[in-house]
Amino acid sequence: MNFVTHNSDKINTNGSHLQGYVDARYDELVSLFGRPHDSDGYKVDAEWNVQFADGTVATIYNYKDGRNYCGSSGSPKEAITNWHVGGFTKQAADNVQITIDLFREQQAPKPKTKADEAFGTALEMMNMIRKTKGKEYADLVEIIMLAKKQGDLLFGVTAGLVQSELIPAEGANIISNINAQMLSKIITKFMRLAKLDDDEVYEEAIKWADRLMEYEAQGAEEIIKAHKRKHKEADE
């Protein structure tokens, strides 16, 4: 919900009175509405003045329970507190509660999908390679992955062109061979510059690239499945 607070605008709360209560942590209210003003420092230690987009005015404040509930010492930051909500109508308490609920929903950790898990595994694996094998080795694995992906993409494009009879099959083979030669030279050049020019290193890096691409493919497949399920549910 859209709103302004006393931190940015002057809000008229004269004549407002108690309309309800909300349970919220002090730090939640600060995250939502900014710093409170001190109010009278006697019965009320912290207060927020809020005006929502629909015109509803609300005041949120503690009452006779001391600064202990306002986050001024130790554990109160985590304590659940029953805050008073003032205003001119009951809508004030409703709007404040809705705003707090929306905030908590946004802060709650989102459940991981199978796609998230697959891509997360690939990322963790690459970080592990970089940490244990070094940056140059990790870069080599990534270059091999990119080369394989480019080869797959080119194969798909040329296969489509051959099927459409836009180019002959021999032409597609020539293009694929040239691309493979170019990528091989790029990888070889990098390995020499990175001082990784070793057949065993190359074979091992290929295996890492294949494993990473498997996880990425799983992630992509799960995204496609979820997209199909969504459209199927919409059609039903």
Residue 77 has pLDDT above 60, yes or no: no
* pLDDT recorded at residue 67: 60
* pLDDT recorded at residue 63: 86
Residue 206 has pLDDT above 90, yes or no: yes
Nearest 5°: phi and psi at 86?
A: -105, 170
Q: pLDDT grade, residue 233 (50/70/90)?
A: confident
* pLDDT recorded at residue 61: 92
Mean pLDDT of 207-217: 93
Q: What is the pLDDT of residues 36-71, one digit of tens each?
A: 987 766 788 889 999 999 999 999 998 887 665 554
CB 159 within 8 A of CB 172: yes
Mean pLDDT of 138-145: 95
Name which of 75-89, 90-104, 216-230 the model is least confident about: 75-89
* pLDDT recorded at residue 234: 72
pTM of the predicted model as reported, rounded to 2 decimal places: 0.53
